[in-house]
């Protein structure tokens, strides 16, 4: 049985790409390998993160959005583009009518499903998409996933594949949602590279803590996608320890006011994982 490599501790001065082998895949579908984009170096000094072919395939969308100054209009036209690209208003055009077709499964339902249950089937699809596109391995789904050949990982794969079965290019829809998220962040925060975000957790010692350089600081190996909030008071509703981190904007997949009704949590952001330096405070 193959066992995922457990993360090794990294020193406070370690600036190299130190994402453990068990937390990354050798290939992905973006311009940076997982060993880089999941490292502390990348958290401190991010570079553009581009999904393969996304900019060229939808160049007309980006050009059109450049002409709009109102974020609400950009969101409206993005959703119209999604409906046209993926025939979301005409599932029969994609062969999704009849028994077994899940014509209502789309990018919005996936993200909303995450909001209801981050260990549910929709969340498994999102975590699987992160593995495919960014090469960051899922570390937790209903429980720790330490063994690639273990029963827990098999259950995760079953949920992921069943969530994709008889749907209309859900992972490609998530690609475009990520691209739009990055476009909007660049428009709304010109010149910025990071956002300060917060996450509430219980029993920090049960998480994958690689080092504690100081009592109020830690280096963690996060799951491959995680919920953070820009509102600290919102984060403290979810745990007795508050993790505060400078998150590269390139690692944000979605945020609450990107599209109307997409995420319910106040200031919620979906953030790619890997190694993460955090400040730890307790209530």
How far is residue 32's CA from residue 248's CA, in Å, rounded to a whole number? 14
Torsion of CA 92, 95, 100, 105, to 10 degrees: -70
Is 199 inside a domain boundary? Answer: yes
Whether 157 and 241 share a structural domain: no
How far is residue 217's CA from residue 165's CA, in Å, rounded to a whole number? 42
Whether 173 and 255 share a structural domain: no
Whether 123 and 222 share a structural domain: no
All residues at 6 or more sequence positions from 82 whose CB lies less than 8 Å from its CB, including other chains: 88, 106, 107, 173, 176
Alpha helix (H) residue ranges in the chain? 34-37, 40-44, 54-57, 59-66, 71-85, 107-116, 121-134, 151-164, 170-188, 232-235
Q: Cα separations (Å) of 65 from 50, 73, 185?
A: 18, 9, 13
Whether 65 and 178 share a structural domain: yes
Query: Which DSSP letter does residue 202 get?
Result: S
pLDDT band for 143, please (50, 70, 90 cuts): very high
For residues 252 and 181, the answer to whether their CB atoms sit within 8 Å is yes
Whether 149 and 70 share a structural domain: yes
Whether 77 and 176 share a structural domain: yes
- The predicted-structure confidence for 199-244, as pLDDT tens digits, reads as follows 999 988 888 999 999 999 999 999 999 999 999 988 888 888 999 9
Is 160 inside a domain boundary? Answer: yes
Radius of gyration, alpha carbons of the chain: 19
CB burial readout 80-109, b (16+ within 10 A) else e: ebbeeebbbeebeeeebeeeebbbebbbbe
pLDDT at residue 99 in the model:
55
Is 256 inside a domain boundary? Answer: yes
Which domain covers residue 255, as residue numbers? 194-282
pLDDT at 31 over 60: yes
Whether 103 and 145 share a structural domain: yes
Query: Which DSSP letter does residue 143 get?
Result: S
DSSP-derived 3-state class of residue 251: helix
Is 98 inside a domain boundary? Answer: yes
Average pLDDT over residues 187-193: 97
Nearest C-alpha neighbor of 219 from the set 35, 33, 41, 26: 41
pLDDT at 16 over 60: no
- The predicted-structure confidence for 41-64, as pLDDT tens digits, reads as follows 999 999 999 999 999 999 999 999
Is 44 inside a domain boundary? Answer: no
Whether 220 and 125 share a structural domain: no
All residues at 6 or more sequence positions from 27 whose CB lies less than 8 Å from its CB, including other chains: 135
Is 68 inside a domain boundary? Answer: yes
Average pLDDT over residues 137-143: 95
pLDDT band for 186, please (50, 70, 90 cuts): very high
pLDDT at residue 1 in the model:
32
Q: Please classify residue 202 by burial: count the beta carbons closer than 10 Å to its beta carbon, then call 0-12 exposed, 13-18 middle and 19+ buried.
A: exposed
Is 235 inside a domain boundary? Answer: yes
pLDDT at residue 240 in the model:
86
Please provide the DSSP assignment of 19-46 as one string: --GGGB-S--SBSS-HHHHTSHHHHHS-
Is 40 inside a domain boundary? Answer: no
pLDDT at residue 9 in the model:
41
Whether 274 and 168 share a structural domain: no
Whether 254 and 218 share a structural domain: yes
pLDDT at 91 over 90: no
194-201 and 252-255: which strand pairing?
unpaired
Whether 203 and 266 share a structural domain: yes
Q: How far is CA 118 from the centre of its chain?
A: 11
Whether 132 and 75 share a structural domain: yes
Average pLDDT over residues 59-79: 98
Give the side-chain half-sphere CA count within 13 A for 262.
22
Domain boundary among 142, 163, 188: 188
Number of domains in the chain: 2
pLDDT at 258 over 70: yes
Domain boundary among 158, 188, 218: 188
252-255 and 241-248: which strand pairing?
unpaired
Domain boundary among 171, 188, 205: 188
């Amino acid at each position: 049985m193959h066992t995922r490599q457990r993360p090794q501790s990294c020193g406070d001065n370690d600036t190299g790409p130190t994402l453990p082998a068990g937390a990354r895949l050798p290939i992905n579908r973006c311009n940076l390998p997982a060993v880089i984009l999941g490292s502390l170096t990348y958290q401190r000094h991010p570079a553009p993160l581009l999904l393969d072919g996304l900019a060229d395939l939808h160049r007309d969308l980006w050009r059109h959005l450049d002409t709009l100054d109102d974020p609400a209009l950009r969101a409206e036209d993005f959703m119209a583009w999604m409906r046209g690209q993926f025939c979301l208003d005409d599932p029969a055009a994609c062969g999704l009518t009849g028994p077994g077709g899940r014509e209502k499964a789309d990018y919005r339902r996936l993200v909303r499903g995450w909001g209801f249950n981050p260990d549910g089937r929709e969340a498994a699809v999102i975590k699987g998409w992160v593995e495919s596109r960014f090469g960051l391995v899922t570390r937790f789904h209903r429980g720790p996933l330490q063994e690639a050949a273990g029963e827990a990982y098999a259950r995760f794969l079953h949920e992921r594949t069943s969530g994709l079965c008889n749907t209309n290019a859900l992972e490609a829809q998530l690609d475009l949602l990520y691209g739009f998220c990055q476009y909007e962040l660049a428009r709304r925060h010109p010149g910025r590279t990071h956002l300060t975000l917060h996450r509430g957790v219980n029993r920090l010692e049960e998480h994958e803590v690689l080092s504690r350089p100081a009592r109020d600081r830690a280096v963690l190996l996060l799951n491959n996608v995680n919920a953070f909030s820009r509102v600290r008071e919102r984060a403290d509703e979810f745990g007795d320890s508050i993790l505060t981190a400078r998150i590269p904007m390139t690692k944000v997949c979605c945020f609450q006011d990107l599209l109307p009704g997409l995420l319910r949590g106040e200031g919620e952001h979906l953030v790619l994982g890997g190694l993460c330096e955090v400040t730890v405070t307790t209530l």
